Structure 1
Amino acid sequence: MDVVVLIGRVLFVVLFLSSALGHFTQTDAMAGYAQSRGVPNPRAGVLASGSLMALGALSVLLGVWADLGALLLVIVLLPTTFLMHRFWSETDPQAKQGEMIHFNKDLALAGASLMLFAFFAHVDELGLTITGPLFHLR
């Protein structure tokens, strides 16, 4: 079972690590897009969200306070979902559909991250982690 959970953690964080890398290597382009979506101080937002994604993903991947890492992912996903993917304000049907897909994906990932938080904070024997949970839910 430990190996299955580890494989799941690896697969789960690939998206976040690659996205965080993009936040750091394409900061100006991402900040321009964030600015077009009305995000205040977009460059700082891009760097902050990239940092939270990287920290959260590495925490989940390595099993270093994985519960906190999952919570960091929730913290970055929820505002991003509602600030960056406002499909309801799009007039072009293709843009609306694309934003709706991204909105639903981010919302689902936030839900999965919240479940991971609860899982890591509740299970005593996580296996194949460096530390135990920071939080303890009973």
Structure 2
Amino acid sequence: MDVVVLIGRVLFSVLFLSSALGHFTQTEAMAGYSASKGVPMAKLAVLGSGALFGLGGLSVLLGVWADLGSLVIAVVLLVTAVMMHSFWKETDAQAKQGEMIHFNKNLALVGATLMLFAFFAHVDELGLTITGPLFDL
């Protein structure tokens, strides 16, 4: 079971670690897009969200307070869903559909990260982690 959970953590973390890398290698382009969506201090927001995705992804991957890492990812995803994928503001049907898809994808990932949080904070024997949970449910 420990190996299955580790494989799941690796696969889950790849998304957020690669996203963090993109935030740092494509900062200007992402900041321009964020600014067009009305995000204040767009460049700082891109760098900050990239750092949080990276820290959260590493936390889950390595099993270092993975419960906290899961919560960090959940918060960033929720803020991103609302600020970057506000489909309710779109007037073009195609753009609205695209933003709705991204919004719903982010909400589903928030749900997954909350389940990971509960898993890490509740299970007594996590196995193959560096630290135990920070929270206790």
Q: Could you tell me how far 1:96 is from its partner in structure 2?
A: 1.1
SS of residue in 2 equivalent to 1:129:
coil
Query: Partners of 2:110 and 2:45 in 1: how far apart?
Result: 18
Equivalent residue number for residue 131 of structure 2? 131
In the TM superposition, what is the alpha-carbon distance from 1:63 to its structure 2 partner? 0.4
SS of the residue corresponding to residue 7 of structure 1 reads helix
Per-residue CA deviation, residues 80-117 of structure 1 (Å, 9 max, x unaligned), is 00000011111122211111110000011011101101
Deviation at 1:134, TM superposition (A): 0.8
Query: In the aligned structure 2, how far is the partner of 1:4 from the partner of 1:65?
Result: 19
Aligned twin of 2:118:
118
Q: Which runs of 5+ in 2 are unaligned?
A: none
Residue in 2 that maps onto 1:15: 15
Question: 1:84 corresponds to which residue?
Answer: 84
Question: 2:45 aligned with 1:45, yes or no?
Answer: yes
Deviation string, structure 1 residues 106-132 (Cα, Å, up to 9, x no partner): 011011101101110011100110111
Measured in 1, the distance between the counterparts of 2:113 and 2:30 equals 23
Paired position in structure 2 for 1:102: 102
Alignment of 1:60-79 (within 5 A): 60-79=60-79
Identity value in percent: 77
The amino acid of 1:94's aligned partner reads Q
Q: Which runs of 5+ in 1 are unaligned?
A: none
Distance in 2, Cα, partners of 1:75 & 1:45: 14
Q: CA deviation at 1:13?
A: 1.1
Normalising by the residue count of structure 2, what TM-score does the alignment of the two structures yield?
0.98
Question: What is the Cα-based RMSD across aligned positions, in Å?
Answer: 0.7
| Distance (whole Å) between structure 1 residues aligned to residue 101 and residue 93 of structure 2 | 12
Offset from partner CA, 1:6-44 (integer Å, 9 cap, x none): 111111111111111000000000000000000010011
Q: Determine if the alignment matches structure 1 residue 28 to structure 2 residue 10.
A: no
Q: How does 1:49-60 map to 2 (within 5 A)?
A: 49-60=49-60
Query: After the TM superposition, which segments of 4 or more aligned residues of structure 1 sit over 2 Å from their partners?
Result: none
